[in-house]
Amino acid sequence: MHKPLLVLLASVVVSGCASQQQTLYAWGGYDESLHAYYKHPQERERFVDNLKTVVLQAEQEGRKVPPGIYAEYGYALYEEGQYGPAVGYFKKEHELWPESRILMDKMIRNAQRQGSRQPAAATGPAGAVAKGTP
C-alpha cells in the first residue's frame, strides 16, 4: 500500500550511513568465500572460482582489482601446478600494487623455478586437475 513511502524510509536509513556503506573496492564476496573454503577445504574449487570472478568483474568494469586478489588467484594456480598462468597474475599484482613488489618478485622467481623443473606435459589444465583433486 505505502510501498513508495517504505522505500523512501529505507533509503533514508541506508543513506544516513552512506559514508560507511561505500567501499573502495568490489570484493565480490571474497571474505565469505575464504571463510567457506576454510570451513569446507574440499570445496577449494569454489574459492578459486570466486577469486577468478572478482578479478574478471573488476577488469571488465575498469575498476581496480582489490589488493591481494591477483596474488591470491595466482597462488591458487601455483598450488595447482599452473606455474605459467600463476606468474602472469603475480605480475599483475606487482604492477597494480607497488607495495607487493618484494613478495611478488619472490613468488615469480619461485613459480618460474618450479615451472622449469616441470615436464612440459604436466603444465596446463591436465596437471592442475591431477593435483587439484587428491
Size of interface with other proteins, in residues (CB under 8 A): 33
Annotate 3-61 with DSSP letters as a single string: HHHHHHHHHHHHHTTHHHH--SS--TTHHHHHHHHHH-GGGHHHHHHHHHHHHHHHHHT
User: Binders of other proteins among 54-93, rule CB under 8 A?
Assistant: 66-69, 71-72, 75, 79, 93
Largest CA distance in the chain: 69
Per-residue binding letters, 14-33, with other proteins (x by CB under 8 A): --xx--xx-xxx-x--xxx-
* C-beta closer to other proteins: residue 71 or 108: 71
Q: How far is the CB of 8 from other proteins (least distance, A)?
A: 17
From CA 102, how far away is CA 48, in angstroms rounded?
Answer: 24
Q: Which of residues 41-60 bind other proteins (CB under 8 A)?
A: none
121: contact with other proteins by CB under 8 A: no
CA dihedral of residues 31, 47, 80, 38 (deg, nearest 10): 70
Residue pair 128/80 in contact (Cβ under 8 Å)? The answer is: yes
- Residues near other proteins (CB under 8 A): 13, 16-17, 20-21, 23-25, 27, 30-32, 34-35, 37-39, 66-69, 71-72, 75, 79, 93, 97, 99-103, 107
